[in-house]
Amino acid sequence: MPQLLRPPLVAGNWKMNKTVSQAHNFVNNLKEAVTEVNDVEIVICPPYTALFSLNQVLKGSNIFLGAQNMYYYEKGAFTGEISPLMLQEAGCRYVILGHSERRIYFGEEDTLVNLKVKAALRTGITPIICIGEQLADREAGKTEEVVQKQLVGSLAGLEPELCQMVVIAYEPVWAIGTGQNATAFEAQEVSNFIRKLLVNNAGSNRAKKIRLLYGGSVKPDNIAGFIKQPDIDGALVGGASLEVADFSLIIKAIKKEVENKCQQPS
């Protein structure tokens, strides 16, 4: 089977949900449900408390670990924060940065996201950088302006070689946790705009290799439409990643669409 230029990726953002024992239970069931899926990178982003021990459970499986946030210093007097080194040792391959909930509830701005992106890459952790407009921005015709500002700010000063390593999640804020997903067309339009912008940071060949995810009320019954789009390489899933049945259906639907994409002439 031919491979896609950009390996598909699906990440489950559990937010502040699941204790360690609940997390173990979930992962043991998910492992069984997706044993056959080897062509989609599956990532679980649990709360910090579950990271280290989940890493032991996931060893040798096709599911990888990600964190939901981190600070950018290696260590020091930053009460309540977690460093990239700590995440690396806990087994994280990915970290979500700049999620809209971090921006809205904790005042994170692009300059801070940028420092975190650089720190993650220095430590060998792949940042999944979230960008997306609020409903008022979309209604005012400012989607591209907002997305561009967040992208440029988050990637400022990154060398093209490093830029190529990042994953960008386009997450319209009005679609997160609302059940009101963007249409596949809307998501593709913005994703294509993002890919064109990435040429400025990474050059045109590298920009073609950067994975773009869609996030915002992804469910088993709408995921296929997103994955069919030429610039969408996977999904960042919140609510529907909390149930094994839903999350595994999403993963299997991605696998199916990826197989279809592989058959298409590029």
The angle at the Cα of 190, spanning 216 to 102, to the nearest 5 degrees, equals 45
State in angstroms the smallest separation of the CB of 50 from ligand PEP.
Answer: 17
Residues in the chain: 266
Contact 193, 154 (CB under 8 A): no
Active-site residues, by number, are 99, 171
Residue window 162-201: x/- pattern of binding to ligand PEP, with contact defined by CB under 6 A: ---------x----xx------------------------
Q: How far is the CB of 254 from ligand PEP (least distance, A)?
A: 14
4-43 footprint of ligand PEP as x/- string (CB under 6 A): ---------x------------------------------
Residue count, binding to ligand PEP (CB under 6 A) = 13
Asked whether the beta carbons of 40 and 234 are under 8 A apart, the reply is yes
Decide if residue 234 touches ligand PEP (CB under 6 A): no
**Binding of residue 45 to ligand PEP (CB under 6 A):** no
Q: What is the DSSP letter of 67?
A: E
Name which position in 237, 244, 250, 253 contacts ligand PEP (CB under 6 A).
237
CA distances from 155 to 79, 104, 114, 165, 201 (A): 27, 20, 6, 11, 8
> Exactly one of 8, 216, 225, 234 binds ligand PEP (CB under 6 A); which one?
216
Sheet strands (E) in the chain? 9-13, 41-45, 63-67, 92-97, 126-131, 167-170, 211-215, 234-237
**Nearest approach, Cβ of 239 to ligand PEP (angstroms)?**
3
- CA 108-113-114 angle, to 5 degrees, is 145
Stretch touching ligand PEP by CB under 6 A, among 29-37, 198-206, 234-242, 244-252:
234-242
Query: What is the binding site for ligand PEP (CB under 6 A)?
Result: 13, 171, 176-177, 215-218, 236-240
